[in-house]
Chain A
Amino acid sequence: MRASLRYRLFIHLAALATSVVILAPFAWLLYSSFVGQTDLVSRPMRWLPEHVTLDRYREIFAGGGTSAGAAFRGAMVNSFLVAGGTVVISLTVGVLGGYALARLRFPLRRVTLLSFLVTYMLPPIALIIPLYLLMSRFGLLDTRTGLIIVYCSLATPFALWNMSTFFGSLPVELEEAARVDGCSRLGALVRVMLPLSKPGILATALYAFLLCWDEFLYSLIFTSTSQAKTVPVAIAEFTGRNAVDFGLIAAGGVLAALPPVALAVMFQRYLITGLASGAVKG
């Protein structure tokens, strides 16, 4: 059945309009990071800039000592380490637990999954005061380890749920065949299930990474120096401290957005097949 010309015209125009709405704010952010300060604060707006400058990026990449650039670079490193650690840990425990939820029979299976998911309803603000006291007792305040521990508790319920739904969508027969051939349960998980679960694993990892890169409240309260401060906190401080230097905020925003945006675009196709809500492949 071939779609009519009018329909095809309509969807292409709609896609074009949507793209403009989505890309315009990004374009403005990018533009603001390159254009001179006088162009940014001119009224009426100068749509063609007189100055184009790389100074903000230079400051962020090369600014030394106590400059905003050095603090921002430190925050990028922290964010990468925290997000990386969280992805590895939450994915590992999520794969193991998800397999149990999908394939093993044990009492209270549904309740177990639900009790994990219910933690998602607890607002961080409810946990943050006792957590703060607890972390200060164990010397975890203002450390990346402390953030990883907290973020794992946020990412794991999703990992568990997504992986269990994904495993559940794979045919049992493959695993049975492997076990008939003498594989142990864990052997079948590693040799048969995991290679087939690439979309689910990548979607889970991407989700966990974005979650960590995005999280703000815990990081705001639990970190105080460049030892552990993450990118969102650094950006929020940018907007406070350099409230007039819009260009620098824009440049920081562009750089902070780069890793998650690049990852999301790269793994886009796994997201559609790998998200649990679509784990039943069409």
Chain B
Amino acid sequence: MTAAPPARPATAPPARPRTPPARRWPFARRAGGGQVRLALLLLLPAALVVFGVVLYPAGRALVISFYDVDSPFPGRYPFVGLRNYTQVLADHRLWTAAGHTAYFTAVSTALELVLGLGLAQLLAAPLRLRWFFRAIVILPWALPTIVNGAMWRWILNAQYGVANALLTELHLQDGYRSWLGNDPFLALNMVVVADVWKNASLVAFFLLAGLQTIPRELNEAARVDGAGPIRSFCRVTLPLLVPHIALVLVLRTIEAFKVFDIVYVMTGGGPAGGTQTITFFTYLEAFSAQRFSAGASLAYLTVIAILVLALIYLRLLRQSELRSP
């Protein structure tokens, strides 16, 4: 997951491959030990800032998940081994929430990827006022998630929402309906809509950055050889974009898996728990029910799930890299 591999062959005479082992290290012979010391020194502040905050809580949460902690105050709590995990795993609410999370993650990530891919093409296309179009597309990404959630909640309001007004007046639906209040599945889909509306633009900009690395000559050559625009997209653009797609897929999947804020402000987990995701369920367990140990074990199950997903993705990525030379 480090540097995106080069999408074009190096043309300049001093070919500088981007893969670390083959890199030409400046002043390598003279430096040596000094470099290691300098690297440590330069990386120390970053390590302090990140691991100083992350390591202890991560370890502590793991410990908590093996005890039965039911209050935020320090004290003696009984050691229960894996009981929290078995209890949580036997709880049907976890599996409902996991189902919602899986659905949300799969659908929103897939939609964002497809729309983002199309949008990236459009952003790169020779449009008049292209800078203006790019400025418009960047807007949803910059909109704070909470504002986005509140905005869609207002648009989808059951009594006064503009979605109801518009669809009713266009006779696309019979009357006002409750988008977020009655049908749990409909509400979950509306959360997906709000999330996709916002994040497709982020995906598009990431992929646009990748598109810029593909030399135009490649596509032009394909066109000269008789490939249509769709064929040249599938055969030339898409394969070269794979590393960028994989990267954005990993990032979006992890984000979607951790989703909390947009659910909190749009539906509050309702109706009837129908939009509760794993993080939301964990939040309720830990902070409303004060079952901190159950919350910690839930959180670690989430970490494991995310890790497995990321490993699968990275494996797929490596395979696709092997296949396309």
Interface residues, chain A, CB within 8 Å of chain B? Answer: 1, 3, 7-8, 11-12, 14-15, 18-19, 21-23, 25-26, 28-29, 32, 40-45, 89-90, 92-94, 96-97, 99-101, 103-107, 109-110, 112-114, 116-117, 119-134, 149-150, 152-153, 156-157, 160-161, 164-165, 168-169, 171-173, 175-176, 179, 185, 210, 213-214, 216-217, 221, 231-232, 235-236, 238-239, 246, 249-250, 253, 256-257, 260-261, 263-265, 268-269, 271-273, 275-282
Chain A contact residues: helix, strand, loop or mixed: helix
Asked if B283 is at the interface of the complex by the 8 Å CB criterion, the answer is yes
Q: Would you give the shortest CB distance from A158 to chain B, in whole angstroms? A: 10
Whether A22 pairs with B58 at a CB distance below 8 angstroms is no
B210 at the interface (CB under 8 A from A): yes
Stretch at the interface among B45-53, B83-91, B106-114, B316-324: B45-53
Which of B43, B52, B157 has most chain A Cβ within 10 Å?
B43
Given A14-B122, A129-B64, is A112 in contact with B147 using a C-beta cutoff of 8 Å?
Answer: no
Does B151 sit at the interface, judged by CB under 8 A? yes
Contact B142 A11 (CB under 8 A): no
Chain A residues with CB under 8 A of B206:
275, 277
Q: Are A105 and B28 in contact (CB under 8 A)?
A: yes
Q: Pull 27 A–B residue pairs with CB atoms less than 8 Å apart, ordered by A.
A: A25-B151, A26-B143, A28-B155, A29-B147, A40-B160, A44-B168, A97-B46, A100-B39, A121-B254, A121-B310, A122-B303, A123-B306, A124-B258, A152-B49, A153-B50, A165-B3, A179-B26, A238-B150, A257-B144, A261-B139, A264-B142, A271-B209, A272-B205, A277-B206, A279-B4, A280-B8, A281-B213
Could you say which of A7, A122, A132 has the most chain B C-beta atoms within 10 Å of its C-beta? A122
B315 at the interface (CB under 8 A from A): no
Residues of A within 8 A of B306 (CB): 121, 123
Q: Are A15 and B133 in contact (CB under 8 A)?
A: yes
B307 — which chain A residues lie within 8 A by C-beta? 121
Using CB atoms, name the residue of chain B closest to A3: B126
Q: Find the residue from A92, A112, A165, A261 having the highest chain B CB count within 10 A.
A: A261
> Is the CB–CB distance between A96 and B150 below 8 Å?
no
- The answer on a CB contact under 8 Å between A256 and B144 is yes
- Residues of B bordering A, CB below 8 Å: 1-4, 6-8, 14, 16, 18, 20, 24-28, 31, 35-36, 38-40, 42-43, 45-54, 56-58, 60-61, 64, 72, 74, 119, 122, 125-128, 131, 133-147, 150-155, 157, 159-160, 162, 165-166, 168-169, 176, 197, 201, 205-206, 208-215, 220, 223, 229, 244, 247-248, 254, 257-258, 260-261, 264-265, 279, 282-283, 286-287, 292, 295-296, 298-300, 302-303, 306-307, 310
Measured in the bound complex, the distance between the Cα atoms of B287 and A221 in whole Å is: 9
Given A126-B58, A216-B146, A221-B287, 19 additional A-B pairs, CB 8 A: A7-B229, A26-B139, A92-B45, A104-B35, A104-B36, A105-B28, A113-B2, A122-B303, A123-B279, A125-B298, A134-B57, A156-B46, A156-B50, A256-B146, A260-B144, A261-B142, A264-B141, A273-B209, A278-B213
**Main SS at interface, chain B:** helix
Would you call A104 and B260 a contact (CB within 8 A)?
no
Say how far B142's CB is from chain A's closest CB, in angstroms: 4
Q: Are A253 and B151 in contact (CB under 8 A)?
A: yes
